Amino acid sequence: MVKVFAKNMSNKQVMTTDGTEIGILNNVVMDVKSGKLEDLIIKPDIGLDTSKYPMEGQYLKISFGAVRSVKDYIVVDRAFIFDQA
């Protein structure tokens, strides 16, 4: 994956590979020692059925390994997400 500055990711809409908009990026979890991103913390869209997604409190917690693209949207692999739920 191409390097992306964190400021370019903040408040970006997140969607799955099937086109479902799931929310807006709220925060990221980073391993301090390695500097690698581990998880995306996403504020879910109102009306999204969150029962199928991994949650941390009121936020979706998606492994950074699910990210497929960061452009106008952050696109995450739907199959990867449901494997971790």
Residue 1 lies in a domain: no
What single-letter DSSP state applies at residue 81?
H
Q: Which residue has the higher pLDDT, 22 or 52?
A: 22
How much is the pLDDT for 3? Answer: 66
| Residue 28: pLDDT over 80 | yes
The CATH number of the domain holding residue 10 is: 2.30.30.240
**What range defines the domain where residue 53 resides?**
6-84
Number of domains in the chain: 1
pLDDT digits (tens, 9 = 90+) for 32-72: 999 888 999 999 999 999 998 999 999 999 999 999 998 88
Query: Which range, of 1-10, 51-60, 74-83, averages the lowest pLDDT?
Result: 1-10
In this structure, is the dihedral angle defined by the CA atoms of residues 43, 55, 63 and 37, taken in order, positive or negative?
A: positive
Output the pTM of the full model: 0.86
